[in-house]
Structure 1
């Protein structure tokens, strides 16, 4: 997650999603790493292109960007978009109910 101080949408995500994210199958499969917009990518990680908007959620595999979600579209849309990029770019499968 690329974020910056004062980002209202980052704050919304942190309030609504952050507390539950690590407890979800998605969060366990793709643990969150936070990066500051002005600091650039964390060491060992490469973004495919410059990050302009915060929050931006970047799916990383082997240090390389696979896909991204730019902005926080609200709780319902976030989970749908996350599930879509996980299914398209990884071996993620939902646990059996």
Structure 2
């Protein structure tokens, strides 16, 4: 199991599909096991470009969070892999309701 110490603003890429994300929020310096499509995420600068022929699972412009909303990722390129933190799939972050303008 490969662990990463995430930092806000860090860009990560999937090793198995075209998914790319930017870290928005992290619980601190503690290492986490972040995967996409079952393989560990890698630094975007060192990743080889991938083409995806499959159906997009991660969607560009969407934010993905863990159950406690301590880790938040912004998808910058869609891909066919599912994002997971410590083996648990990340979910789409729900949009905040805007206040009513009466």
TM-score range, shorter-chain basis? under 0.3
More helix by share: 1
- TM-score, normalised by the number of residues in structure 2: 0.26
Larger Rg: 2
More strand by share: 2
